[in-house]
C-alpha cells in the first residue's frame, strides 16, 4: 500500500510539473508577437494616398526636391543611407537648399523589404519615422539574414521609444500595405526599375550616388547665392 501511495505521489508530481510547463508554453504562444507579413498587390484605397506623397525631410521652400525610390533590403540603398545621406543632410537639407522625398520601392527578390517599409510606416504614426528608417538601414546585415525579421524590427521600435502595443496592432493589421503599393506603382509608372533611383524634376538618375555628386546636381539646379 505504501509503495502504491508513493507511486501515486510521483505520478501527481510529474503530472503537475507537465501541467505547469504546458501552461507556461501556452502563455508564451498567446502573448508573443505573431509573425507578420505584408501583402503585395493590394487594392489601393483613396485613404492610402490622401494627403500623403512620401516621407519628407527639409524645408518646403527648398529650391530643389529630390525623390528617392529605395528598398530597405537593397545593399546599395543601405550604403547610400548610412554613408552618404548624413553628409547630404548637413550640406544641403539643413541649409535649406534641398528637400528630400523618400518613396518605398520594395523589390520582389527581397523578402523583408515590404515588412521593413511597413515597420517604418508604423513608426511614422508615432512621430518616429526617420529614427526607425535609419535604424533599419543600419541593421540591414542583422535582419536580412534572419529567419523572421519582424522581431528585429520590433526591437528597433522599442529602442526608438515606440508604444509597442500600438506598433504591434499596426503591423498585424497591415495598415500601410496600400501606401507601400501606391509608392511602388508610382515608381513603376515613372520608369523606375532598380534601387536606388532618384527623381529630379522629370529626370531619373540610376546607380550609385555620393554626396559630392548630389551637391553638384543641386548646385547646377539652384546655384549658391554670392555671400
* Run of H or E including 21: helix 2-31
pTM for this model (two decimals): 0.83
Q: Which of 54, 129, 131 is nearest to 99 (CA)?
A: 54
User: Does some domain include residue 79?
Assistant: yes
User: Does some domain include residue 6?
Assistant: no
In order of 50, 74, 206, the CA distances from 188 in angstroms are: 20, 17, 14
Whole-number pLDDT of residue 223: 87
User: Does some domain include residue 227?
Assistant: no
Q: Are 112 and 143 in contact (CB under 8 A)?
A: yes
User: Does some domain include residue 77?
Assistant: yes
User: Does some domain include residue 89?
Assistant: yes
What is the Cα–Cα distance from 85 to 91, expressed in whole angstroms?
Answer: 10
Give the contacts of 65 (CB within 8 A, at least 6 positions apart).
Answer: 98, 99, 100, 101, 200
Specify which residues 75 forms β-bridges with. Answer: none
In order of 36, 53, 100, the CA distances from 213 in angstroms are: 39, 25, 15
Q: Work out the mean pLDDT of the chain and round it to a whole number.
A: 89
Residue 192: DSSP 8-state = -
Whole-number pLDDT of residue 100: 98
In order of 14, 15, 25, 34, 123, the CA distances from 21 in angstroms are: 11, 10, 6, 21, 36
User: Does some domain include residue 15?
Assistant: no
User: Does some domain include residue 11?
Assistant: no
Overall number of domains in the chain = 1
Percentage of the chain exceeding pLDDT 90: 80
- CATH classification of the domain holding 142: 3.40.30.10
Residue 172 belongs to domain spanning: 46-221
User: Does some domain include residue 1?
Assistant: no
pLDDT in tens, 153-212: 999 999 999 999 999 999 999 999 999 999 999 999 999 999 999 999 999 999 888 999
pLDDT at 71 over 70: yes
Q: Read off the C-alpha cell for 48.
A: 492610402
pLDDT in tens, 105-128: 999 999 999 999 999 999 999 999
Amino acid at each position: 500500500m505504501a509503495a502504491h501511495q508513493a507511486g501515486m505521489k510521483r505520478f501527481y508530481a510529474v503530472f503537475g510539473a507537465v501541467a505547469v510547463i504546458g501552461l507556461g508554453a501556452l502563455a508564451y504562444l498567446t502573448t508573443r508577437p505573431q509573425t507578420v507579413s505584408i501583402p503585395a498587390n493590394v487594392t489601393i484605397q483613396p485613404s492610402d494616398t490622401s494627403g500623403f506623397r512620401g516621407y519628407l525631410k527639409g524645408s518646403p521652400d527648398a529650391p530643389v526636391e529630390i525623390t528617392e525610390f529605395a528598398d530597405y533590403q537593397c545593399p546599395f540603398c543601405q550604403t547610400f543611407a548610412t554613408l552618404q545621406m548624413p553628409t547630404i543632410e548637413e550640406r544641403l537639407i539643413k541649409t535649406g537648399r534641398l528637400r528630400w522625398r523618400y518613396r518605398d520601392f520594395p523589390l520582389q527578390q527581397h523578402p523583408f523589404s515590404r515588412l521593413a517599409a511597413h515597420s517604418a510606416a508604423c513608426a511614422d504614426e508615432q512621430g518616429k519615422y526617420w529614427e526607425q528608417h535609419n535604424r533599419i538601414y543600419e541593421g540591414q546585415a542583422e535582419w536580412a539574414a534572419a529567419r523572421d525579421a519582424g522581431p528585429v524590427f520590433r526591437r528597433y521600435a522599442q529602442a526608438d521609444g515606440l508604444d509597442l502595443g500600438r506598433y504591434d496592432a499596426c503591423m498585424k493589421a497591415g495598415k500601410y500595405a496600400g501606401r507601400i503599393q501606391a509608392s511602388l506603382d508610382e515608381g513603376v509608372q515613372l520608369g523606375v526599375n532598380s534601387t536606388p533611383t532618384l527623381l529630379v524634376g522629370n529626370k531619373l538618375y540610376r546607380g550609385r550616388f555620393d554626396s559630392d555628386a548630389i551637391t553638384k546636381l543641386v548646385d547646377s539646379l539652384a546655384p549658391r547665392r554670392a555671400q
